[in-house]
Chains A and B, each alone.
Chain A
Amino acid sequence: EVQLVESGGGLVQPGRSLKLSCAASGFTFSDYYMAWVRQAPTKGLEWVASISYDGGSTYYRDSVKGRFTISRDNAKSSLYLQMDSLRSEDTATYYCTTDLGWEPDYWGQGVMVTVSS
């Protein structure tokens, strides 16, 4: 059974850091690009970042560039999102997913990040 399980979310003050993790199982993790997608409360979907098979290439939306870092550890079948200098507008549910727009399409259940003082 394929599983993507996110962890590391929570309440954090503006300007502080948080690191999200996503543990994958049930498929060959290293065969796929991976991505983080977020969804602010009652809002739509927003792509955050993507990473290539071996982590050699990374891509970010402009609003997180320089603040967020996507990484992966294929030996541990894990995906990460280091989030620094957090802002209130980063408040959202963050989903770990296989590369967008292709099969196979695997998503985690999402993890909530709330940035507030």
Chain B
Amino acid sequence: DIVMTQSPFSLAVSEGEMVTINCKSSQSLLSSGNQKNYLAWYQQKPGQSPKLLIYYASTRQSGVPDRFIGSGSGTDFTLTISDVQAEDLADYYCLQHYSSPLTFGSGTKLEIK
């Protein structure tokens, strides 16, 4: 199974600041066939269902603000949230769907000071 190691566990920032969340996979998520990384990022706001933010490591889902930026390739990935807003209060998870079983990172709790 591919293990997803996500950090930090939590972080607290003020509005307008930038945050970085990291995710490391135990195996490469890069497909040799299409050169795509099978890594996604999800946001789960309190009391809500998860929502896809980023897929293929760096492609934003329709409607996701451009302050959410995904980067990385192979085994190391980053979600950057620039100009954090109060509405970004949530848990964030990375997901690998390169191979079964699909595995999520342990999550990062973002708090707003």
Residues of chain A touching chain B, judged by Cβ–Cβ distance below 8 Å, are 35, 37, 44-47, 50, 59-62, 95, 97, 100-103, 105, 107-110
Do B95 and A44 have beta carbons less than 8 Å apart?
no
Q: Give the Cβ gap from B1 to chain A, nearest Cβ, in Å.
A: 8
Given contacts A44-B93, A45-B42, A45-B107, contact A100 B102 (CB under 8 A): yes
From A45, A47, A97, A103, B62 is in contact (CB under 8 Å) with: A103
Do A103 and B104 have beta carbons less than 8 Å apart?
no
For chain B, give the interface size range: 20 to 34
Q: Give the Cβ gap from B3 to chain A, nearest Cβ, in Å.
A: 13
Given contacts A47-B102, A62-B101, contact A101 B49 (CB under 8 A): no
Q: Which residues of B contact A47 (CB under 8 A)?
A: 95, 101-104
Do B50 and A45 have beta carbons less than 8 Å apart?
yes
Q: Which residues of A contact B32 (CB under 8 A)?
A: none
- Give the CA-CA distance A15 to B106 in the complex, in Å: 28
Q: Which residues of B contact A103 (CB under 8 A)?
A: 52, 55, 61-62
B69 within 8 A of A: no
